[in-house]
Structure 1
Amino acid sequence: MAADLAEDDVLRLGAMPAHADALCVFVHGRGQSPEEMGEHVIERLRNTGAHVVLPRAPGGVWYDARAIDPLTERTTVQLQAGLDAIDAAISLAVSEGAPGDRVVLAGFSQGACLALEYALRRPGRLRGLVAFTGCRVGGASRVATAARLAGLSAYLSCGDADPWIPLDAFFEAAQDVARTGAALRVEVFPGRMHEVLDAEIEALDRMLADVAAGRPASGARRGAAA
């Protein structure tokens, strides 16, 4: 997959791949760009030891529908392309020396939805999952998963006033992750709109530090949604 990914398709930040203590792939939201996520999220991290790859969606959109809309053939095709882009981003960085056994996948909004789908549909490459304001794609028609993710640490967050991701859809996603046996931490922020708070940035910082050190994520509860 790495050969199919051009440098223009990704933004690289943080440590050089061969010197990184962890690999983070961060997926932007609808209508956003890797550069925006670099400024609003990655540059706020204290942890500078990770190599960060931010893939770029064609036209700034991973799929056209809302995440809570029923799955259609078009959404399914677009979703698969997004999952392939994550695979390619991981493979590209690992081919250049980034640690393939210490991968954290993170995202915001539509990027968080895509990250959740990747973790549940393509298990095995991740040690950490961080989803800021996301849910499963497809609403009630979402794809069921029997994945077992006992080695995965996951952090899911949302605001109770977010205009894009309903809380019930967010909690359904958390329950899906909890059923896999992942070590899960969930936070809901009262009054938080469509943004990423300092507390969420700190959670990603801790996740990267824990994965780099080979220890379970701080504050995670295995197999239970808080």
Structure 2
Amino acid sequence: MVSGALHLGPRTKAQASCVIVHGRGQSPEEMQSHILARLDAPDVAFVLPRAAKGAWYAAKAVDPLTSGTRAALGAALNQLEADVEEAKAAYPGLPLLLAGFSQGACLSLEYAFAGLSGVDALIAFTGCRVGRASDDRPASLRNGLPVYLTGSDADPWIPVTAFAEAALELGRGRAKLRADLFPGRGHEVSDAEIDMMRSVLADLAGGQNIGMAAAR
């Protein structure tokens, strides 16, 4: 069985780095084919973490937090933190984008809300907070963190209510937020979302403020 993060892109002359977290039942290779193959980012180095059993935790994101889910989530966050630190060490001094899809997006949001370091911007394709608003969840989001959050009213895994709740919490945490809801989109990453990721990476690589101005 394949293990360990997948590294792609230029080892030298990179201008930015990006850690992309796969969803439940997926792999780094699927993120490569579903997302990276559609990007034009030749000056970005990518690190794609790999969940040991194809999932970062067993529960659905919108289930109440149990002690078992908290433990699994904590272990996943520790692994993601190690992968982020590996990317920062491999590409020192470069800005870093943390991105994820579905369960990977949820884990990436939890990373940011836990106040873990090393991230200059966050993209959560079809993501929400893990657990429910009534659960005791961390709220140590960095003030002004650029965040792009997406969802769909037709997604079977992340309800619109959970997407909206995540947007509300990001707003309360004073993120620099753009949230896009794509009516009718299935459980996938649309071309418009890819265009936004390309725009964010271009701003990071160019040393510019992140505008998140790509069209919907």
Q: What is the TM-score of this pair, normalised by structure 1? A: 0.88
Query: How many aligned positions are there?
Result: 212
Query: Is residue 2:88 matched to residue 1:94?
Result: yes
CA RMSD across the alignment: 1.7
Measured against aligned partners, the alpha-carbon deviations of 1:29-50 in whole angstroms (never above 9, x if no partner) come to 0000000011000111111211
Match of 1:161 in 2: 154
Measured against aligned partners, the alpha-carbon deviations of 1:26-82 in whole angstroms (never above 9, x if no partner) come to 000000000001100011111121111010001101000000000011111111111
Q: CA deviation at 1:122?
A: 2.5
Match of 1:136 in 2: 129
Query: Which of 21, 45, 54 is equivalent to 1:51?
Result: 45
Query: Is residue 2:198 matched to residue 1:196?
Result: no
- The one-letter code sitting in structure 2 at the alignment partner of 1:74 is G
Q: CA deviation at 1:219?
A: 3.7
Moved more, 113-122 or 171-180: 171-180
Match of 2:14 in 1: 20
Which secondary structure does the structure 2 equivalent of 1:71 belong to?
coil
Which secondary structure does the structure 2 equivalent of 1:139 belong to?
coil
Q: CA deviation at 1:129?
A: 0.3
Match of 1:10 in 2: 5
Measured against aligned partners, the alpha-carbon deviations of 1:169-204 in whole angstroms (never above 9, x if no partner) come to 011111111122221111011100100001001111
Q: CA deviation at 1:138?
A: 0.6
- Runs of 4 or more, structure 1, over 4 Å off, are none
Match of 1:79 in 2: 73
Structure 2 residue runs of 5 or longer lacking an equivalent are none
Which secondary structure does the structure 2 equivalent of 1:26 belong to?
strand
Moved more, 121-130 or 57-66: 121-130
Match of 1:41 in 2: 35
2:127 and 2:163 in contact (8 A); partners too:
yes
Which structure's residues are more often helix, by fraction? 1
**Residues of 1 paired with 2:117 and 2:7: CA distance?**
23
Change in CA separation of 1:148 and 1:95 when aligned onto 2, cut-off 3 Å: closer
